[in-house]
Structure 1
Amino acid sequence: MSSSNTSRDQPDGAAATMVYVVDDDESMRGAVSMLLRSVGLAVQTFASAQEFLAFEMPDVPSCLILDVRLKGQSGLAVQEQIAASKLGLPIVFMTAHGDIAMTVKAMKAGAMDFLAKPFRDQDMLDAVTHALARDQERREANRVVDDLRRSYESLTAREREVMAFVAAGLMNKQIAGEMNLSEITVKIHRGQAMRKMGARSLAEFVLKAEALGVKAPQSTASPAARGSRN
């Protein structure tokens, strides 16, 4: 890895993104940190996985550069811990002792990249850029789902039931029969639910229900069977 000039550290609170580096080799930690900071990235380095896992991470797009062979614990074991914690943090592995089996295992477990030491500066920068972009996308997708959940929680029990039946493909008349309501009452509940969910069309309403995993009661007959009754 070639040398790079360093820039002044960014304050953690002001960082738009964060890159974590875990390696028990102090010289490698310093070199990777210097490289990343030279292109304006905020970096936090750790000598052990324990230090990293105990760190309170800011809520910004992030990624982890992780050495495969750490004293006391392998990087692959750390990867398993991160996966179990549901952090969803993209990982770029680096190693001087990697082999094909190790690489395959790491990639199958969701690693973004696997760089053998010594690596080219540009390869590391490209891997980090890709990983940060992936985490940004994940966070945006999570925010969308969180917003949907908040909207769904604002629905009444009847509105949720109507939404579930709509998502299952039932028409207003069929829903009225299932819920023992008038068709006009079903229309009112559906309209209120669509408004609260921010759905501008029935198709969008159904897509939002599917994104939330909303399902009709299992005891409900299939749309075809219901259609034959109406």
Structure 2
Amino acid sequence: MPSTYTPATAWSALVEGNRRFVAGAMEHPSQGVDHRTELSAAQSPFAVVFGCSDSRVAAEIIFDRGLGEVFVVRTAGHVVDTTVLGSIEYGVEVLGASLVVVLGHDSCGAVTAAAEALRTGVMPTGFVRAIVDRVIPSIVSQTSADHSNGTNLAVPSADTLGREHLRHTVDMLLSYSAALSTAVAEGRCAVVGVEYTLAQGEARAVDVRGAVDA
């Protein structure tokens, strides 16, 4: 069955779940044996969460949600490719999710590596370079020439760059995916860029596209 959530009620559910998580009062909903059995036939998540592949930022935990409620897509640095876009479109168009959350966080290793590559000109080796290559376009506009300290570029803090990368990712999803852009324009879905702080456990909206106010 399709989700009965609107973009506003879906966002409210995640906000309330995160408040419980921050307070240490999690309810762990929809995790019982009976519910697990019910879900074996079909799923109807109310939200898609596209986040960073970081062991400290598990969407179902930080939003205190259960099985079948959140369709999670993860890549290091929440970098976008065609399979990510296809997965998000599947969550919205096929499974009926009414909200897409792009979940970034402070102290992101991918953003830090991209900032270091810009500052020093030295790229990481192996396939880690592919991740950095996809983060750099999001943050390069935030750098500026500065020869006073012996470096070629002045690079803002990793957290400032991470916030910029988060907003850029939201822009990319909506510009690359006609299906997602149409869903937002029609009010069937909203996209929210969320910044998560590791120490406090708080998830805060920094970029909202669509109507998420009740």
What's the TM-score bracket when you normalise by the shorter of the two chains?
0.3 to 0.5
TM-score of the superposed pair, with normalisation by structure 1: 0.34
- Structure with the higher fraction of residues in strand conformation: 2
Point out which structure has higher relative CO (alpha carbons under 8 A, 6+ apart): 2
- Structure with the higher fraction of residues in helix conformation: 1
TM-score of the superposed pair, with normalisation by structure 2: 0.36
